[in-house]
Amino acid sequence: MALTSEEFLVLDELIENLDPIIHDRGIDILHDDRVSYLGEDTALMIYEFSVIGSGRNVYIVSICLNQEVVKYGKEINVDLASKCSCIYYQKNLSCKHVAAAACYLDFHSDESFRKSQSHKKVESPKIVKLVPEKSLFPFTISCREDELGNLAERLPFINTQAKPKSIQKVELVDNGICYTVNLIGFSVQLTLVFDPINEQVRITCSDRTPIIQEQAVVFLQLNWKHSTNFDLKLITNSQRAKAKRKKLADLGLLGEVDDPDTALELGFSNGGFHFIYAGELEGMKDVLALGKEFKEFSRLELTGSDVKTLAEKSDSKEYGLYNVAFALAINDYGQLYNLFPFIAKGKKNDPAGFHVRFDVLEYADDIRLAKNDNLERLLLDVKQMKSFKDRRKYESLHNALHGFVDSVKDEYPIFRCYGSYNYDKFHKSEIKELLEFQYAELEFTLARSKSIFEFQAWLVMGEQRLKVSDIAAELLISEIFGFYKDRVILLFVKFSDIALLHYWKERVPVRFAENMFPEFAKQVLKPLSAFAKFTDETGMISEVDLGAPIERELYVSELSGLVIFEPKVRYDSQISSNPLNATTLFDIESNTIYLRNSDFETEFVTFLRSLHPAFANPAGEVYFSLKHNQFVAGNWFLETFGQLEKQGVKVFGLDKLTLKRYSTFPASISMNVSSKSDWFEINTQLKFGDYSVRLKDIKQAVLSDERFVRLGDGSLGQIPDKWLRKFTKLIQSSETDGETVKLSKIHFSLLNDFEEDIYNPAVAKELAEKKARLQSFEEIRTVEVPKGIDAELRNYQKAGLNWLNFLQEYGWGGILADDMGLGKTLQVITLIAQLAEKGKIRTLIIAPTTLLFNWKNELEKFAPHLDYFIHHGDRSDKVEDLQAHSIVLTSYGLVINDLDLLCKLEFDLIVADESQAIKNVTSLRYKSIIKLRGKLKLAMTGTPIENGIAELFAHMNFVNPGFFKTFSGFKEQYIKELRNGNPETMQDLRKKIQPFVLRRTKEEVLTELPDKIEEYLYCEMGAPQKKVYEAYRNEYRDFLQGKFEEEGSNQSKMYVLEGLTKLRQICDSPDLISKEKKGAKSAKIDLLMEHIIEKTGNHKILIFSQFVKMLDLVKKEMVTRNIPFSYLDGKSSMKDRENSVNQFQEDNAIRVFLISLKAGGTGLNLTAADYVYILDPWWNPAVENQAIDRCYRMGQDKKVMAYRMICKDTVEEKIMELQKSKLKLAKEVISEGDGFLTGMNGETMLKLFE
- What does the mean pLDDT of the chain come to? 81
Ranges of H-type helices in 566-687: 598-609, 628-632, 636-646
Cis upstream peptide for 509 (omega within 30°): yes
CATH of domain 1012-1247: 3.40.50.300
On whether the CB atoms of residues 744 and 974 are closer than 8 A, the answer is: no
pLDDT at 1162: 66
Question: Which has the closest alpha carbon to 1011: 1196, 755, 1231?
Answer: 1196
Question: pLDDT-based confidence at 775, cuts 50/70/90?
Answer: low
pLDDT at 332: 83
> What is the distance of C-alpha 228 from the center of its chain?
62
pLDDT at residue 1128 tops 80: yes
d(CA 433, CA 413): 10
Strand order in the sheet with 585-587: 542-545, 592-595, 585-587
Strand 139-142 relative to strand 82-84: parallel, antiparallel, unpaired? unpaired
On whether the CB atoms of residues 259 and 267 are closer than 8 A, the answer is: no
Q: What is the pLDDT of residues 802-860, one digit of tens each?
A: 889 888 887 788 999 887 778 899 999 999 999 998 888 999 999 988 788 889 888 99
pLDDT at 1234: 28
Q: How many CB atoms lie within 10 A of CB 931?
A: 11
Strand order in the sheet with 176-183: 139-142, 200-205, 186-195, 176-183, 165-173
**Three-point CA angle 1135, 1138, 1144, nearest 5°:** 135
Q: What is the pLDDT of residues 1082-1102, one digit of tens each?
A: 899 998 998 898 788 788 899
Higher pLDDT, 1062 or 1164: 1062
> Highest mean pLDDT range out of 251-265, 291-305, 644-658?
251-265
Question: pLDDT-based confidence at 131, cuts 50/70/90?
Answer: very low
Direct distance between the N- and C-terminal alpha carbons of the chain, in angstroms, rounded to an integer: 46
pLDDT at residue 1225 tops 70: no
d(CA 534, CA 584): 6
Strand order in the sheet with 322-330: 356-360, 336-345, 322-330, 414-417, 431-434
Strand 1200-1207 relative to strand 1012-1019: parallel, antiparallel, unpaired? parallel
Higher pLDDT, 1085 or 1247: 1085
Q: Which of 197-201, 308-312, 879-883, 1012-1016 has the lowest mean pLDDT?
A: 308-312
Q: Which CA distances in Å does 796 have to 242, 937, 1000, 1001, 1192?
A: 90, 21, 8, 11, 18
Average pLDDT for 629-644: 69
Strand 716-718 relative to strand 933-940: parallel, antiparallel, unpaired? unpaired
Q: What is the pLDDT of residues 224-247, one digit of tens each?
A: 876 456 788 899 999 999 999 998
Which residues does residue 735 pair with via DSSP β-bridges, in sequence order?
742
Cis upstream peptide for 138 (omega within 30°): yes
Q: What is the pLDDT of residues 456-476, one digit of tens each?
A: 999 998 888 999 999 999 999
Q: Kindly tell me the sign of the dihedral angle through the C-alpha atoms of 1210, 1213, 1214, 1218.
A: positive
Ranges of H-type helices in 1071-1170: 1083-1095, 1108-1120, 1134-1146, 1157-1160
pLDDT at 6: 78
d(CA 886, CA 907): 10
d(CA 1211, CA 1247): 9
pLDDT at residue 1245 tops 70: no
- CB contact set of 897 (below 8 Å; sequence gap of 6+): none
Higher pLDDT, 705 or 779: 705
Q: What is the pLDDT of residues 668-682, one digit of tens each?
A: 888 888 877 667 788
Q: Look at residue 971 and give its three-state secondary structure.
A: helix
Average pLDDT for 1007-1019: 77
> Which stretch of DSSP H or E encloses residue 523?
none
d(CA 133, CA 141): 20
Strand 452-461 relative to strand 997-998: parallel, antiparallel, unpaired? unpaired
Q: Look at residue 79 and give its three-state secondary structure.
A: coil
d(CA 829, CA 855): 9
pLDDT at 238: 92
Strand 868-871 relative to strand 887-891: parallel, antiparallel, unpaired? parallel
pLDDT at 1243: 63
pLDDT at 1059: 85
Q: Which CATH number fits domain 795-1005: 1.10.1060.10, 3.40.50.970, 3.40.50.1110, 3.40.50.10810?
A: 3.40.50.10810
Average pLDDT for 1034-1052: 78
**Range 1226-1250 burial, b when 16+ CB lie within 10 A, else e:** beebbbbbbebbeebebeebbebbe
pLDDT at residue 930 tops 80: yes
Q: Which CA distances in Å does 166 have to 181, 232, 270, 669, 742?
A: 6, 19, 12, 82, 82
